[in-house]
């Protein structure tokens, strides 16, 4: 197929069979799906017009996806950037025509995110020619993942599927699982979180090495639909790092840190829940911005099959390095006690024996 714009060419992932029932959906930049569909909707509905400025904050891949969508449709792009946006990405964004404004300096990712949100509010008060995309709160970002769900439905004929992905804004995992369920597939959805995120209540547990931007949050996200998730996994930077290194060493797949998180979780899920169908994990981006903190230490990497999660029944029991909870599609996620509850008895035995 010949494409008219690079965004159309890179939005679809490569589906790779790793081993057994484990599959990898490898994106170059996952959020191209959601930004293209969202911007198309806004233009078609008249909410925005060509030449207008689209505004949002980002820790990396959303910024790139939004800049591509603006480039395609003749819109201006303004990004309030996290400290995790590296010089190479910043340069690409600027050449694409985006305004990249670093957020105020912050000692950690939590304060970095709060600073970005604060700056967005300031810009909205100062200008009336911008449209805030609200990737964390506006449900239009669900629309693009219907296409990804259709891709999976076409490639996998099984009635049951297991989907593993970083939670982040909630759209990629929640939307994909939701569309697949609408198609009649029985999807077991495993959401992956870093420690310290308010999403699914791990804000009381600090990971001193955390740099896993994008899959957690220091503020509530309205696009996270907690009732979509069957299981939640909280995983440390260290376990995620080992996952990224092993994915490259064992399968020649150079992917980002959140992909390492999802791989570590997915290879375990594929072994523990073989009756839940093919296990597909989402790799959101490539590994270039993680060269120093992740891949430079590859000689000391461990086999992730040595890592096992601790089964918990309440988020009050969270601790490093990896915990799993049967979320049971519970509908609340930002109250310290909201996730508490018994794990289903039919799964407790399976988990406890691991």
User: Read out DSSP for 125-162?
Assistant: HH-SSEEE--TTT-GGGGTTHHHHHHHHHHH---SEEE
Peptide bond into 334 cis (omega under 30): no
What is the average per-residue pLDDT within 103-132? 84
Using alpha carbons, select from 19, 10, 14 the residue that is nearest to residue 246: 19
In this prediction, residue 334 has a pLDDT band, given cuts at 50, 70 and 90, of low
Q: In angstroms, rounded to a whole number, what is the distance separating the alpha carbons of residues 127 and 332?
A: 35
Q: In angstroms, rounded to a whole number, what is the distance separating the alpha carbons of residues 193 and 215?
A: 6
Using alpha carbons, select from 180, 224, 317, 207 the residue that is nearest to residue 261: 207
Using alpha carbons, select from 170, 249, 171, 244 the residue that is nearest to residue 211: 244
Summary count for the chain: helices (H), strands (E)? 10, 12
Q: In angstroms, rounded to a whole number, what is the distance separating the alpha carbons of residues 330 and 340?
A: 9
What is the average per-residue pLDDT within 39-53? 96
Beta-carbon contacts of residue 76 (< 8 Å; ≥ 6 apart):
51, 52, 53, 54, 70, 97, 99
- Say yes or no: domain 32-134 is CATH 3.40.50.1100: yes
Q: In angstroms, rounded to a whole number, what is the distance separating the alpha carbons of residues 275 and 188?
A: 11
- pLDDT for 109: 64
Residues of the chain above pLDDT 70, percent: 92
Q: In angstroms, rounded to a whole number, what is the distance separating the alpha carbons of residues 272 and 37?
A: 36
Q: In angstroms, rounded to a whole number, what is the distance separating the alpha carbons of residues 104 and 98?
A: 19
Beta-carbon contacts of residue 174 (< 8 Å; ≥ 6 apart):
142, 189, 223, 224, 225, 228, 229
Q: In angstroms, rounded to a whole number, what is the distance separating the alpha carbons of residues 267 and 183?
A: 26
Classify the C-alpha dihedral 291-21-225-200 as positive or negative: negative
- pLDDT for 211: 74
Q: In angstroms, rounded to a whole number, what is the distance separating the alpha carbons of residues 135 and 55?
A: 10
Instruction: Give me the residues paired with residue 190 across strands.
Output: 164, 231
What is the average per-residue pLDDT within 211-227? 87
Examine the pLDDT at 84 and tell me if it is beyond 90.
no
Q: Greater confidence, 28 or 104?
A: 28
- Say yes or no: domain 6-30+142-331 is CATH 3.40.50.2300: no
- pLDDT for 114: 78
Categorise residue 173: left if φ over 0, alpha if ψ from -120 to 50, beta otherwise.
alpha
**Phi, psi dihedral angles at 131 (to 5 degrees):** -120, 120
What are the pLDDT digits (tens) for 275-306? 999 999 999 999 998 898 999 989 989 999 99
Largest Cα separation within the chain, whole Å, is 59
- pLDDT for 333: 64
Q: In angstroms, rounded to a whole number, what is the distance separating the alpha carbons of residues 171 and 313?
A: 26
What are the pLDDT digits (tens) for 221-280? 999 999 999 999 999 999 999 999 999 999 999 999 999 999 999 999 999 999 999 999
Q: In angstroms, rounded to a whole number, what is the distance separating the alpha carbons of residues 135 and 173?
A: 14
What is the average per-residue pLDDT within 155-184? 98
> What stretch(es) of the chain map to CATH 3.40.50.1100?
6-30+142-331, 32-134
What is the average per-residue pLDDT within 77-106? 89
Helices 61-73 + 87-95 axis angle, to 10 = 10
> Average pLDDT over the chain, rounded to whole?
91
């Amino acid at each position: 197929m010949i494409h008219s714009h690079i965004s159309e060419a890179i939005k679809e992932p490569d589906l790779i069979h790793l081993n057994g029932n484990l599959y990898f959906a490898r994106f170059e930049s996952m959020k191209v799906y959601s930004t293209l569909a969202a911007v198309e909707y806004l233009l078609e509905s008249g909410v925005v017009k060509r030449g207008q400025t689209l505004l949002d904050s980002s820790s990396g891949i959303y910024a790139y996806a939004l800049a591509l969508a603006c480039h395609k449709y003749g819109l201006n792009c303004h990004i309030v950037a996290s400290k995790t946006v590296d010089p190479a990405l910043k340069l690409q964004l600027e050449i694409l025509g985006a305004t990249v404004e670093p957020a105020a300096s912050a000692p950690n990712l939590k304060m970095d995110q709060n600073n970005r949100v604060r700056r967005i509010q300031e810009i909205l008060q100062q200008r009336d020619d911008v449209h805030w995309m609200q990737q964390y709160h506006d449900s239009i970002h669900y629309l693009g993942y219907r296409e990804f769900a259709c891709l999976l439905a076409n490639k996998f004929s099984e009635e049951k599927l297991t989907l593993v992905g970083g939670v982040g804004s909630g759209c990629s995992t929640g939307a994909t699982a939701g569309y697949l369920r609408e198609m009649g597939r029985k999807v077991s959805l495993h959401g992956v979180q870093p420690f310290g995120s308010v999403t699914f209540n791990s804000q009381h547990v600090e990971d001193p090495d955390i740099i896993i931007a994008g899959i957690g949050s220091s503020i509530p996200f309205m696009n996270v639909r907690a009732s979509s998730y069957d299981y939640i996994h909280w995983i440390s930077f260290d376990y995620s790092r080992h996952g990224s290194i092993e994915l490259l060493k064992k399968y020649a797949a150079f992917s980002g840190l959140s992909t390492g998180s999802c791989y570590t979780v997915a290879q375990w899920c594929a072994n523990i829940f073989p009756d839940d169908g093919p296990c597909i994990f989402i790799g959101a981006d490539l590994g270039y911005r993680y060269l120093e903190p992740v891949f430079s230490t590859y000689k000391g990497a461990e086999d992730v099959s040595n890592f096992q999660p601790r089964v918990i029944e309440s988020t009050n029991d969270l601790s490093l390095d990896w915990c799993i909870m049967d979320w049971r599609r519970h509908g609340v996620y930002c109250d310290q006690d909201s996730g508490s509850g018994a794990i289903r008895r039919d799964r407790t035995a399976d988990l406890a024996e691991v």
